[in-house]
Amino acid sequence: MKADTAAIAALVTLLRRQTEVDLQPHWRLAPATVQAEGCLIAQGFETWSIAERNEKQHIAWPRGQKTLWLACCWTIPDRCDRWPVADMALRLALTWWAEAAEVYVDGQLVQTGDLFDCSSRVLLRDMAQPGDRLQLLLRLVSPGHDDGALVRSQLIFESSTDLPELSFLGQELAVVNSFAEQLQPELLPKLEAIAQSFADLDCSQADTADRLARLRDQLAAIAAPIRQRRVSLLGHAHLDLAWLWPVAETWEAAQRTFESVLQLQAAFPELTFGHSTPALYEWIERNRPDLFVAIQAQIAAGRWEVNAGPWVEPELNLVSAESLVRQLLYGQRYSTETLGVQNRVAWLPDSFGFCWQLPQLLQQAGIDTFVTQKLRWNDSTQFPHGLFRWRSPDGSEVLALMSAPIGTGIDPEAIANYSWEWEQQTGSQESLWLPGVGDHGGGPTRDMLEQARRWQQSPCFPQLQFETLTAYLERLGDRDRLPVWNNELYLEFHRGCYTSHADQKAYNRQAETALYSAEVWASFASLLTGADYPKVNLEAAWKATLFNQFHDILPGSAIPEVYADADPEWQQAIATAHQVKSEALTAIAAHIAWTAPPRSTAQPWLIFNDLPGDRSTVIAIDGHWRIFDLSGQELPSQFTPTETLVAVTVSGMGWLGLWREAAIATIQAIDPTAPLHLSNDWLSAEIDPETGDLLQLRDRQGRELLDGQGNQYQRFQDQGQYWDAWNIDPAYEQHPLPSPELQSLTWLEQGPLRWRLRRILSCDRSTITQDYVLTVADPWLKLETTIDWQQRHELLKVAFPTTVSAPVATYEMAAGAIARARQPQTPAEAAQWEVPALRWADLSDLQGGLAILNDCKYGYDCRDRQLRLTLLRGSTWPDPQADLGQHQFAYAIYPHPDSWQAAGVAPLARRLNQPLTGQPAPFAQGALQPSQTLLNWNADQLLPLALKRSETGDRWLLRCYEAIGQTAELVLTGDRTWQIGARLDGLEQPLSSSSTEVQPWQIASFELLQPTQEN
């Protein structure tokens, strides 16, 4: 068998050698002074050194944007090996790994490229003539982060006769062989016999053409089952909105790509092209209306498919459920209203993993199919399905397609191997291939389309046909037979993206939080006072936020210029949200009727709560004041050098009115010798005087939750990864670095309402300043942290070794929670050694547990009984300055004696992120009371996502989700009588059901009918 298999391989090699020339050994190193347009021989070509090849036969040179000039002078022979080549077309096939590439032929620049447009087939001669000398010159610039390489260079002679060139025939043989090996091994003996019968083939003999024709006929007979297979082609051009180039360059690339596609469609009527990203179409509409009209015409003709769904192709692990709702809402609205298409497909080929609730969110937005190829990048296990039903925790399902790789051409052997793999995995004899240059745009090329036409005529290849994704999906058959994936789609790669460029993560959390609050209060202001609802401003802020959630901006994997653009956009979105909220609160305050103040100099003060449920906490008011309730009773307070602290309880979605009067502060003296102990009704904590770490943490029942020092900073070397900003070194724990050393430990506040203990640590060039903050009213110990981070290629975590024994840790995801193994039992579980989460993670057993809440961090790990939060990294590519400088954030530890559900971990994390808002109020005589509960509901596990005006019309809607996995009934309460109207989908359209019952893990939207005042 081995000898026969070798015979097939030998015949493939023989055939390809007749019309292909490996050019790699023929390149010489040209000097930097070479004149591209001049004669290479005259410039000393024959004296230049031969370029060395490495073990992969690549011509490599150092990283760091170094320029390499390669030259080749080659005379066309009479024969290539033994086959005559006169009058055949001659192409130069190249593949490079270079930041920039220029190809010169006979002194003329004929092709340019980069890291993404990294291969080329240049036509050198329409009809090759023996004795004709070719002068080839390449200018290649290495990437800044990686060595450059000329990976492949070939000369290929092509035939225009009925009998194709021999290398084409060799590829056909390779395709038939792979088909037999993978799908129909019973064909191998016949194929082996054919190979043996042609072992004596001498391509210099007069009967060679006849023998080759017989060979092809014999192959075609064996390949008859192959022709029963079908490969659908959809032209594609993955276009990252920003990555190794700024957004402005993306607009230029989009124009070039779309113009190229339209030109090719005129020359190749069969070409069908698909593209995503409504945000990109909107830019074209506004800035290139002529191009937009041409695209619309092709959409109407069915030759251009809008595969959009979300507004951009976003990061999908780090954003909130409401952000995903808006991605889909704005994307679908634009596609429907402007492009005339409501998408049924979410096209997400390149995002770095996919949260478990995505099927539910897609289904609610009218999308029934999800497409990606990213899990092909897994570094540990192979994802088991190519076509499957993906199910969310609530039971919602979409069809999920693991597509072919993107950024590919018409490589027949790659297409064939993918098709056989697809058939083995799914049972389907119809596969989908996506030809087109990607990442930086480009799309299909003329050569790809010409190649597709040639291979469509091959008797040894599946049928090729351009068509839309929708048409392809409709033929996939019964979906009920497909396997079900009832979990997240975790990418076993790019785990550093949960942490890199921490400023982007902070901006994202701030924007999401601010926009929620702005819409809540703008809605109440409009309903209660008639104030205008600032829809235009809110939409602009949302769209800026959604744009920056793109999967190479928010993950922190772009160049500095991208963040120079993104940062002001984030800041403007957050500022807009704050302004909208401020104006709304001011409008509400102006309609509140106040009674006489308890003291003549007292002034009204309001505290607003935009979450359901009563909230008891300690608030800080700038300045020094005496604080009175509405009855005139002075409230206990505490002065700091700049603030007044007061403990309050504010009802859900409402406000509390107080009086304040200027006071002369008496600041309590600090006892520097006080024990390093913090306690309130919920917890107690002891601090180690030597390290500043937690010695012990107890819940309200006295259970000790730490098994070793907690709140301990851990440093690790984190380097050696090609994808520097994306990937954490899998072996980082084998490279620990010294922990930060304690420099000081100082009491700043000692009650009676708030205690604050500050520790300062240093490590190398960095400084950590952290305050332990405990109040009488909050059930958590808060860690307010400022880090001046100057480390490179390091990973910083904070660790909590616990006494909790549990098989899983639980993490917040968008609109839900996910349990992941603490002690992995499978390779896939072991690959989840760093995982994403939103605002909290929890480790609990039957007796209770410990939760970590945070205000802007997303990376966690839990192994054995140690729960850790990842704080910072120090990558240098693609942004050399990533994460350098000041970082301010907070996290909190919440020990609890019950399950995370019973302990209210999810709503508490919302409260940490959504603090109460205080603001002065004027004396007014309006219809509103100084303290009111505007809107509340009975079920604590129903957490709000949005309260807003509808995108069309004058309706109001409330969106919430069930957060602990138990059915709940939405019953509205408050000082006003609210009515629940129609139940809505994610596009704000009415559903047939009007039930107010919310199923476990379900996202539910309701029309909110305007209230009437209770008598």
Say whether pLDDT at 176 is over 60: yes
Pair type for strands 484-485 and 387-391? parallel
Q: What does the pLDDT read at residue 3?
A: 42
586 domain-assigned: yes
Residues 384 and 286 in one domain: yes
986 domain-assigned: yes
What is the CATH classification number for the domain harbouring 969?
Answer: 2.60.40.2220
Q: What does the pLDDT read at residue 290?
A: 98
Residues 473 and 446 in one domain: yes
Of 564, 591, 618, the residue at which a domain comes to its end is 591
Task: Identify the bridge partners of residue 626 per DSSP, sorted by sequence position.
Answer: 661
Residues 569 and 696 in one domain: no
920 domain-assigned: no
| Cα–Cα distance measured from residue 750 to residue 639, given in angstroms and rounded to the nearest whole number | 11
C-alpha dihedral (461, 463, 465, 469), degrees to nearest 10: -100
pLDDT tens, 829-859? 999 999 999 999 999 999 999 999 999 999 9
Say whether pLDDT at 1 is over 60: no
Q: What does the pLDDT read at residue 441?
A: 84
Check if the beta carbon of residue 658 is closer than 8 Å to that of residue 628.
Answer: yes
Of 114, 139, 158, the residue at which a domain comes to its end is 158
Check if the beta carbon of residue 882 is closer than 8 Å to that of residue 874.
Answer: yes
Residues 659 and 704 in one domain: no
Residues 212 and 278 in one domain: no
Say whether pLDDT at 1015 is over 60: no
What is the CATH classification number for the domain harbouring 726?
Answer: 2.70.98.30
Average pLDDT, rounded, for the chain: 96
What is the CATH classification number for the domain harbouring 374?
Answer: 3.20.110.10
Percent of the chain at pLDDT > 70 equals: 99
pLDDT tens, 935-964? 999 899 999 999 999 999 889 999 999 999
Say whether pLDDT at 622 is over 70: yes
Say whether pLDDT at 68 is over 60: yes
pLDDT tens, 414-458? 999 999 999 999 999 999 999 999 988 899 999 999 999 999 999
CA-based radius of gyration for the chain: 33
Phi, psi of 515 (to 5 degrees): -70, -40
596 domain-assigned: no
**pLDDT confidence band for 994 (50 / 70 / 90):** confident
Residues 472 and 499 in one domain: no
Residues 791 and 853 in one domain: yes
Residues 683 and 827 in one domain: yes
- Over range 126-144, report the average pLDDT: 96
Q: What does the pLDDT read at residue 916?
A: 98
What is the CATH classification number for the domain harbouring 620?
Answer: 2.60.40.1180
- Angle in degrees, 0-180, between the axes of helices 188-197 and 2-19, rounded to the nearest 10: 60
**pLDDT confidence band for 788 (50 / 70 / 90):** very high
Residues 881 and 742 in one domain: yes
- Over range 687-705, report the average pLDDT: 98
Rounded to a whole number, what is the distance in angstroms from the first to the last CA of the chain? 92
929 domain-assigned: no
Listed in sequence order, the residues at least 6 apart from 421 whose beta carbon sits closer than 8 Å to its beta carbon are 182, 386
pLDDT tens, 893-931? 999 999 999 999 999 999 999 999 999 999 988 899 999
| Cα–Cα distance measured from residue 829 to residue 842, given in angstroms and rounded to the nearest whole number | 18
| Cα–Cα distance measured from residue 341 to residue 329, given in angstroms and rounded to the nearest whole number | 14
| Cα–Cα distance measured from residue 435 to residue 273, given in angstroms and rounded to the nearest whole number | 10
pLDDT tens, 707-746? 999 999 999 999 999 999 999 999 999 999 999 999 999 9
**pLDDT confidence band for 4 (50 / 70 / 90):** low
The two structure tokens encoding residue 593: 């009727």
pLDDT tens, 968-989? 999 999 998 899 999 999 999 9
Q: What does the pLDDT read at residue 1012?
A: 62
Residues 51 and 180 in one domain: no
Eight-state DSSP code of residue 739: P
Residues 183 and 252 in one domain: no
| Cα–Cα distance measured from residue 264 to residue 261, given in angstroms and rounded to the nearest whole number | 5
Listed in sequence order, the residues at least 6 apart from 9 whose beta carbon sits closer than 8 Å to its beta carbon are none
pLDDT tens, 343-393? 999 999 999 999 999 999 999 999 999 999 999 999 999 999 999 999 999
| Cα–Cα distance measured from residue 700 to residue 684, given in angstroms and rounded to the nearest whole number | 8
Check if the beta carbon of residue 137 is closer than 8 Å to that of residue 70.
Answer: yes
| Cα–Cα distance measured from residue 785 to residue 172, given in angstroms and rounded to the nearest whole number | 64
Residues 343 and 444 in one domain: yes
Number of domains in the chain: 7
Say whether pLDDT at 1014 is over 80: no
839 domain-assigned: yes
Check if the beta carbon of residue 50 is closer than 8 Å to that of residue 24.
Answer: no
- What is the pTM (predicted TM-score) of this model? 0.96
**Domain residues for 994?**
935-1014
Q: What does the pLDDT read at residue 2?
A: 44
Q: What does the pLDDT read at residue 21?
A: 97
- Over range 21-46, report the average pLDDT: 96
Determine the distance from the C-alpha atom of residue 809 to the mean position of all C-alpha atoms in its chain, rounded to a whole number.
23
| Cα–Cα distance measured from residue 321 to residue 325, given in angstroms and rounded to the nearest whole number | 6
Of 621, 640, 667, the residue at which a domain comes to its end is 667
Task: Identify the bridge partners of residue 686 per DSSP, sorted by sequence position.
Answer: 677, 696
Percent of the chain at pLDDT > 90 equals: 95
Burial of 635 (0-12, 13-18, 19+ CB in 10 A): middle
| Beta-strand runs (E) in 406-469 | 430-433, 463-466
910 domain-assigned: no
pLDDT tens, 308-323? 899 999 999 999 999 9
The 3-class SS string of 195-207 reads HHHCCCCCCCCCC
| Beta-strand runs (E) in 307-424 | 345-347, 369-372, 387-391, 397-402
What is the CATH classification number for the domain harbouring 53?
Answer: 2.60.120.260
Please, which contacts does 753-761 make with residues 24 or more away whose CB atoms are closer than 8 Å?
753/618, 753/636, 753/637, 753/638, 753/645, 753/646, 753/647, 753/777, 754/618, 754/638, 754/645, 755/678, 757/676, 757/678, 757/687, 759/687, 759/692, 761/692, 761/713
790 domain-assigned: yes
Say whether pLDDT at 5 is over 90: no
Q: What does the pLDDT read at residue 993?
A: 86
